[in-house]
Structure 1
Amino acid sequence: MTTSLKPTIWEISDSDTEVDEESKSDLEFNGSAKDSTVRNVFVQTPSDERDRPSSAKKRRSKEEIEADKKKATQRREAREKNRAAKEREKQEKRKQQQKRKEAAQHLNSLKPENYLKCLTVCIDPALLQQRGCDVLLGTLSSFEWRYSIQQQPLPNSITWARDLPQLAEDDAGTVAEDQLVQVLSPSEFLDLVMSVKRMIDNEGEEPVGDSVLGLITEGLKQDAGKVATLLVTLSQTEYRRHALGETFQSKYGGENLDVEEVLVYLQLDKNIFVFFVDGWQEVTDHVCAVTKSLSRRPFKQLTEQSELPFCADGSWASGVRVEKDGCGLKQVWSKQIQQLNRVSQATASCVTAAYPSPQLLLQAYKASSSDEERKKLLADLAVKGEGKERRVGPEISTRVYRCLTARNPELVLD
């Protein structure tokens, strides 16, 4: 059986033609899009390369690099300086605050009620053997004041010591005050009077070391700054003068005037004060008075050191404030003239209006030919503001002239 092969013929319809045309158009569009993309890529790349700086432009010179390094170093140094300045300011503020705190603490410690806590009353053990010493110890304990029983340079004496606010390595911790009180019996005081009288009669003969005066003299030589006070204990008030003089006269052949002479000599020549007390109660009162006086002394000295200005602020006490530009000097000149007797404010204002400063008035005095003319220079000035007009007058004019030209500080102006 024979099979014949015939070629297959495909017919192309109109729709297929349209599909082919559409596919061609898509291919052409895609191709053109790719070409445009590629073209854009290759076209834009050179423009980007032109915008970028070249390697030659990027490279900086050594001078520019050094300048940048120098600027950076300067900025760093400026920051460090500012930081150091702020740190110094903080430290200065801390120091000022610490100084103010220490000053306030020091001022508070100098107040009498606080300074009493630093004082110690030092009592010689020999005083404990005398009847009535327990009054002193009981009073000090009741006031809660510190006291100690320790050997003193002078027998039967009382001294004071205070604690130092800040102790150094070599400091003992306390410093002695300049007050010394010694308690004497009547017989010891009579021996003292006799020794002083003998020394006065012999024109400065040195006292014997075993005598009361010799012991006091040797004790005061060790500390020249001590102020000694002798308390003579007498049981009766009348015995202080009459019986003491009678005892001295009967025992040594002296008189009452000799006792008075000895007391004056001790005070003026030896800086030793003598008080007669009636028993241990008055001794205790004297010791308490000295202790309170020592506690008030530092604060009092501190307040006395403060200086007051010549022209006080405000209008109290007729003060006048003078500014830096000199405003107020004319008022001071007027107040100075008013200090003279019988010179009113209107009269002083009249003088200052004619001569606004003391220098101008002194120049006018120098220009005058005679003394009489100088004295009458201000006499004819008219004073206004007190009812009717009047003149300064020759009396006030003469006193103003004497006040400004006299060289004798004790001259009476009136």
Structure 2
Amino acid sequence: MLYLISAHKWSFCFKWEMSVLRRAKTWEISESEDSDHDRKPAPKPKESRQERTADSRDRETRSAEEDSTNLPPPPAGRPSGAASSPPRPDASGAPSPARRRRSKEEVEAERLKAKERKEERERRRAARAREKEERRQEQRRRREAADELRSLRPENCIKSLTVCVEPALLQHEGSDILLDTLAMLEWRCSVESRRVPGSITWTRDLPQQGGDAQACVEEEPLLLVLTPGDFVDVVITVKKMADSGGEETAMGTVLRPLWECLNQGANKAVTMLVTDFESDQRTEESGGGLPEQRLRTNLGMKSRDLEEVLVYLQLYKNISVVFLQSWQDVTDHVCAVTKALSKRPFKLLTERCELPFCVDGSWASGARVERDGSGLRDVWSRQIQQLNRVSPAVASAVTECFPSPRLLLQAYQNLGSEAEKKAMLAGLSVKTEGKERRIGPDISARMYRCLTAENPQLVLD
């Protein structure tokens, strides 16, 4: 090691002496030039390319030797050749700073922060997915509600109804009028056996959410078509039941299946259609008139007996009796019942709310109340107009005298007797179309009962 350092020093001294000698030969300064040097700087001679190249090489050699002498000694485990190599710069040209090692607490804190950020992203993603699913479910519910409402409209609901005709009715002459009319109206009709012979019933198809099977429900109306002879049997049987105190004994062949159907808990609204299915000339032979009058004349029944039978069937069995002339009247009655059944679901839907007379919408003529309280007087006036036979002029007269219900109640409390309270508003003046009149005791008493009564079933009029 010492030998290498002395060799470097010897080469450095030799090169330095050579450069001095070379410069001495090149620079020859006279004494006259030294004297003029203080007054005027001497022009710098031009160096040749070979001299500049030699000088640059000398400077590079000196800088390399100085760097090698200033280097620290190499570590014990590293070879000697690696001690003289300079440190390798990084990509930016400067040596990279030493990386500080993080502690376990810092690593754990960063891990917890990363975990919290991940959980927060998961929560946001789950919230967005939940909101999206809720919007999808809400849209599905609205679509189903719209489809249900559309299907309950009469023009669409009548398509789900089926008129079921018992095969025994087709044996009568003129029954093709009913079938032809239903086919012309494009209504569904089926001929199938029923529990009550000679009956006409209706069935409705219910919409199903899933599955191919479609549920079918039977409607309440039941029409029982009877001939005059069958109706005589019914009258005789009902007379015996009325005389025996309601015992269902010795029933004829017409009422037995109907009674069995009603006793099984079937919720039916039965209507007996009594008509004569013979030729149309019977009207001229019987002398015309109403079907009921002609029937009484032909059967020889007393008016009192017939009235007793009709009243008993209506009150005790909820059975109505209708007298018709021909199959055309029967067909018209069947069409009327079918149209009523098609309108029934939509009416039930509109009457489902607790207060069906309070209709929602911009056309419901409601009164708007602002945050500052403006509009409360209009609400008070509309509330008074809900009473029967109370016009806007009468309501305006009451609200001008008593702008709020509390003031009116306080006025009632200040009075002593009940009669004075009922007649308190009777003398108020009402102006309508240039005429002036009084409210009157009737409206005044109804206003008092409306505001002070505690019985919810009380009739105001």
Q: Could you tell me the TM-score, scaled by structure 2's length?
A: 0.69
What's the CA shift for 1:35?
Answer: 3.4
Q: 2:296 aligns with which of 231, 239, 245?
A: 245
C-alpha distance after superposition, 1:339-365 (max 9, x if no partner) = 66896566435413xxx4322343344
CA contact (8 A) 2:296 2:302 kept: yes
1:65 to partner: Cα distance: 0.7
How far the C-alpha of 1:154 sits from its partner, in A, is 0.4
- Choose from 44, 54, 63 the match for 1:27: 54
Q: Residues 221 and 405 (structure 1 numbering): CA distance in 2 closer, same or farther, change over 3 Å?
A: closer
Deviates more, 1:153-162 or 1:322-331: 322-331
- Contact 1:196 1:262 (C-alpha < 8 Å) held by counterparts: yes
In structure 2, the residue corresponding to 1:238 is in which secondary structure? coil
CA contact (8 A) 1:314 1:320 kept: no
Choose the corresponding residue for 1:221, options 248, 259, 263.
263
In 2, the alpha carbon distance for the partners of 1:394 and 1:301 equals 39
What is the aligned-residue identity percentage?
Answer: 45
Contact residue 162 and residue 177 of structure 1 kept, 8 A: yes
Residues 1:160 and 2:202 are matched in the alignment: yes
CA displacement 1:53-89 (0-9 Å, x = unmatched): 435xx11011111111111111111112212211112
Q: In structure 2, what residue type is equivalent to 1:101?
A: R
Aligned to 1:366: 413
Amino acid at match of 2:398: A
Which residue of the partner structure matches residue 301 of structure 1? 348
Partner of 2:186: 144
Q: 1:222 to 1:351 in 2, by over 3 A?
A: same
Show CA shifts across 1:180-225 (max 9, x none): 1111000000110111111112221214344322332112223431
Q: Is the 8 A contact 1:110 1:298 kept in 2?
A: yes
8 Å CA contact 2:398, 2:428 repeated in 1: no
In structure 2, C-alpha distance between the alignment counterparts of 1:240 and 1:269, rounded to whole Å: 25
**Is the 2:223–2:272 Cα contact (8 Å) retained in structure 1?**
yes
Report the residue type matching 1:351 in the other structure: C
Candidates 118, 129, 139, aligned match of 1:87: 129
Matches within 5 A, 1:138-287: 138-166=180-208, 173-234=215-276, 236=283, 238=289, 240-249=291-300, 255-287=302-334
Which residue identity is paired with 2:123? Answer: K
The 2-side partners of 1:114 and 1:311 are apart by 24
1:238 maps to a residue whose letter is G
1:297 and 1:148 map into 2 onto residues whose CA distance is 22
Q: 1:167 to 1:27 in 2, by over 3 A?
A: closer
Equivalent position amino acid for 1:330 in 2: R
CA RMSD of aligned residues (A): 4.3
For 1:260 and 1:295, how far apart are their aligned partners in 2? Answer: 33
Q: Is the 8 A contact 1:119 1:163 kept in 2?
A: yes
Q: Distance in 2 between matches of 1:257 and 1:341?
A: 49
Measured in 1, the distance between the counterparts of 2:153 and 2:443 equals: 52
Cα separation, 2, equivalents of 1:277 and 1:260: 17
What do the CA deviations read for 1:102-140 (whole angstroms, capped 9, x no partner)? 111111111222212211111111112111111111111
Specify the code of the residue in structure 1 equivalent to 2:340: S
Aligned residue for 1:103?
145
| Cα gap change, 1:135 to 1:54, in 2 (>3 Å) | same
Equivalent pairs counted in the alignment come to: 382
Match for residue 398 of structure 2? 348
Alignment correspondent of 1:288: 335
Partner SS state of residue 72, structure 1: helix
